[in-house]
Amino acid sequence: MRRWLWLGLVVALGAAGPPSRAPAPAPGHAVDPEPLTADLSSHVIGINTGFTGASLILFGAKEQPGDIIVVVRGPPSVAVLRRKHRVLGIWINTEGLTLDGAPAYYAVASSRPLDEIAPLGLLRLHQIGLANVRPAIAGPTDVAPDQETEFRKALVRQQELNARYVEEIGKVEFLGEHLFRVNIGFPASVPFGHYAVETFLVRDKKIVAGQTVPLLVTESGVNAEIHEFARNQSLAYGLIAVAAAAMAGWLASIAFRQR
């Protein structure tokens, strides 16, 4: 399902850009070089016991002049937002709004400020920039349409607070005329799942080319084993957790008795 989403995204990118996006070169034909090529220093972030965050390098080459925008999108999630109101002196949740497809993680890097590179309409279309992350409203809601914006802002605000939404994770730097690179830092609390790292080449306020690179954030080592075991053998995991805790308590009381 997710794979199809990304595929759809790539197709949408191709459709949005001018026809200069080259089709797959036929064998034996000399064709124009790809206008944009980009890749990550690693396609997997493995989270082990000592994980305190990760840093990846996205590097690439462009065959045409223009600016580069890099967007890191985490797995699409369901965001449930609630607003509190004061009723009889007590703050209680009254209205709620559910947004489907909100990225669990989101970060942008660009070679120049976004508003100088591309018009707002284009940024909105491709959901580039925190202000343009617009997941769809799911299900019935009691929120008035004019209040929706406030809920969307709250999503971004809360996610920024948890270091999961980041505007300007880094500046895309050019090395000479063709090459570019950017450091992408991920916090220790980076959510698991399938990410898409999108690179856009923008010239004259239009997207000339785009490329999507997959990224997998997953557990590794002992963590993966513990998580796997907790999921698949939950009863055994619970029993072992209780036994380990009881054992630790017992050992401690023996240790203290001898003093």
Residues near other proteins (CB under 8 A): 47-52, 75-86, 89-93, 102, 104, 150-151, 154-155, 157-159, 188-189, 191-193, 219, 222-223, 226-227, 230-231, 234-235, 237-242, 244-250, 252-253, 256-257
Tokens linked to 199: 């690179």
Q: Name the minimum Å distance from CB 140 to other proteins.
A: 15
Nearer to other proteins, 22 or 143 (CB): 143
Structure tokens at 42: 């690693």
Name the minimum Å distance from CB 168 to other proteins. Answer: 22
Q: Which is nearer to other proteins, 28 or 93 (CB)?
A: 93
The strand pair at 106-110 and 165-171 is best described as parallel
* Closer of 11 and 241 to other proteins (Cβ): 241
Amino acid letter, 193: G
Among 145, 159, 5, which residue's Cα sits nearest to residue 79? 159
Q: Give the nearest distance from C-beta 103 to other proteins in angstroms.
A: 10
Q: What is the Cα–Cα distance from 33 to 129, expressed in whole angstroms? A: 29
Q: Which is nearer to other proteins, 14 or 193 (CB)?
A: 193
In the complex, the smallest distance separating the C-beta of residue 247 from other proteins, rounded to whole angstroms, is 8
Tell the smallest beta-carbon distance from residue 135 to other proteins (Å): 11
Give the contacts of 172 (CB within 8 A, at least 6 positions apart).
67, 68, 69, 70, 109, 110, 111, 180, 181, 182
Nearer to other proteins, 5 or 213 (CB): 5
φ and ψ at 226, to 5 degrees? Answer: -60, -45
Q: Which is nearer to other proteins, 59 or 237 (CB)?
A: 237
Contact yes or no for 182/57 (Cβ under 8 A): yes
- CA–CA gap between residue 53 and residue 141 (Å, rounded): 37
Pairing of strands 67-73, 106-110: antiparallel
Tell me how far, at minimum, the Cβ of 254 lies from other proteins, in Å. 8
The answer to whether the beta carbons of residues 118 and 128 sit under 8 Å apart is yes
